[in-house]
């Protein structure tokens, strides 16, 4: 993966006010994702849009109008088809120095599978489209676990980068849940302290 001149996502604190802009960006990128030809930058923009939406939806309640929900129902399949079709080629472009981009990529896939796909299912898609999406999501899960294994190989025991990586690719982790444990606290992941145990030893 070539070194980029800008980080893969804006390193800014999320607010309820910018959730509408993030939602609009998600809908735009789902609709314009390229099916039938590999467009690295469009796919990167889609993955970043999914990551940012997942963060804001995890942090704030995001309201959808009927028109927005209908638009999401229409464009979601296009985005998933583009991802599944091109993801293997896209993911092969990552090198060890793209360590933070790989972590962002895994978080985006997790938000897609656990959040966006669940929202899509609530919109009552046709059985044929739902069956197709379930198959593609299953394949995306496989890519996710391959990349988690790659992160583990590229990490020290404390979960930090084993070798040189591009610091400018470090995204904001504001809104990323603790369950995304390929990130660590020193990178900005918010860890909830465990309560003191009452056990006596």
Task: Report the chain's mean pLDDT, rounded to a whole number.
Answer: 88
Tell which residue, 106, 99, 117, has the closest CA to residue 160: 99
Domain ranges for the chain, please list them. Answer: 16-187
Q: What is the pLDDT of residues 35-65, one digit of tens each?
A: 888 888 999 999 999 999 999 999 998 889 9
Q: What is the pLDDT of residue 7?
A: 41
Q: In the structure, what pLDDT confidence band is assigned to residue 192 with cuts at 50, 70 and 90?
A: confident
Q: What is the pLDDT of residues 111-141, one digit of tens each?
A: 999 999 999 999 999 999 999 999 999 999 9
* CA–CA dist 108, 46 (Å, integer): 9
Q: What is the mean pLDDT of residues 172-178?
A: 95
Q: Between 93 and 10, where is the model more confident? A: 93
């Amino acid at each position: 993966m070539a070194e980029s001149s800008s980080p893969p996502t804006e390193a800014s604190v999320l607010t309820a006010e910018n959730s509408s802009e993030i939602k609009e960006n998600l809908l735009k990128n789902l609709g314009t994702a390229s099916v039938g030809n590999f467009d690295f930058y469009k796919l990167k923009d889609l993955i970043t849009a999914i990551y940012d939406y997942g963060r804001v939806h995890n942090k704030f309640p995001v309201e959808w109008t009927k028109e927005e929900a209908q638009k999401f129902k229409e464009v979601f399949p296009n985005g998933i088809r583009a991802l599944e079709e091109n993801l293997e080629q896209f993911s092969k472009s990552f090198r060890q120095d793209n360590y933070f981009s790989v972590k962002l990529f895994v978080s985006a896939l997790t938000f897609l599978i656990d959040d966006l796909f669940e929202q899509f299912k609530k919109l009552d898609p046709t059985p044929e489209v739902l069956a197709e999406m379930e198959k593609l999501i299953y394949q995306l899960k496989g890519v996710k676990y391959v990349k988690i294994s790659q992160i583990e190989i590229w990490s020290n025991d404390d979960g930090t980068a084993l070798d040189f990586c591009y610091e400018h690719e470090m995204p904001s982790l504001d809104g990323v849940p603790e369950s995304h444990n390929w990130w660590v606290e020193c990178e900005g992941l918010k860890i909830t302290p465990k309560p003191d145990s009452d056990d006596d030893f």
